[in-house]
A = this chain, B = another copy of it.
């Protein structure tokens, strides 16, 4: 390789001009990318650009994707270590290139060692300011919002980072269509009240007010994941919730037992198959409470609860809770929107919505958001 002798190393501080995507502890250097959709964006001149990263994990490797001038170019698995990745080479040096580097993998509650940090850049060009997009959108969800199933074949059933993405995720599609920045808080298998397997710790609301309450482990803690999130720093025009799928699943699963504390939990069905009234009630209350939490932190944002990409089972429970929330608070800046269920034709790997399903849902959500933004 003919080495480019003009490459200069830039720490983030030195690069100065860049935009951080996703919730993170922005003061950290290197900068942690905790969740899918977290990333960094630059406008840069020069012929060549590299990004310096630091990567680690115990079990689940992070994936990333990159875009130059708005177009998808690469997607790859990252191995542990501290190294540089080339984002482009050989381009006309004078033009300004918009480059985005995004984490594909959700925050990994199941792997405390999983982290991806940005140290800086190498370039022979100059870093220019990155302008804001027109809107800001926050997405809160489960495996659907983690993009599980958006890569991989229909028969693939393993639970793997490589099948998750933001690059083929409805959240990214909606945001690009609306010229919006996006932040995603989601975790596969988690719910409003409990996880798919009745694990009551696996509820998203309990993690929502931290920078990234879903990033496990001591190291992520030190990187700021557990700090309170500053909701003033980035005010979304809309908060899109996409939860309920795992809560529906819990009603079909056996009781969860905490092997340590002996605690148990179960969302029960009546003998006739209907939901046990107490259990559906606590789920509804969790919806009401979570709406309250979201509103408290986002007083001006439109909140839309989306639901359905993996079945419409809890439509009545969620809307009942939302009606109650509205009665109790008078808050009318909330909406409920069903998104089309994945079908044989649109499903991806792991029996999750595939790219086509995400695209369909994104279109409907985008159209809806156009009417309220």
Contacts and interface: CB of A to CB of B under 8 A. Distances in A.
Interface of A: 1-2, 56-61, 63, 68-77, 79-80, 86, 88-92, 113, 151-153, 155-158, 160-162, 274, 311-312, 315-316, 319-320, 322-323, 326, 330, 332, 335-338, 340-341, 343, 349, 364, 367-368, 371
Question: Number of copies of this chain in the oligomer?
Answer: 4
Given A59-B2, A73-B75, A312-B368, A332 B274 contact: yes
B341 A319 contact: no
Contacts of A1: 56-58, 61, 79-80, 113
Contacts of A76: 74-76
Given A74-B75, A79-B86, A151-B71, A319 B312 contact: no
Given A59-B2, A316-B319, A337-B312, A156 B367 contact: no
A81 to B, nearest CB: 9
Contacts of A312: 335, 337, 368
B77 A75 contact: no
Contact of A341 (B72, B330, B368): B368
A58 B312 CA distance: 46
Contacts of A2: 58-59
Nearest to A156: B69
A128 B311 CA distance: 39
A312 B319 CA distance: 13
Given A1-B57, A1-B61, A319-B336, 6 more contacts: A60-B90, A71-B153, A315-B319, A316-B326, A319-B319, A341-B368
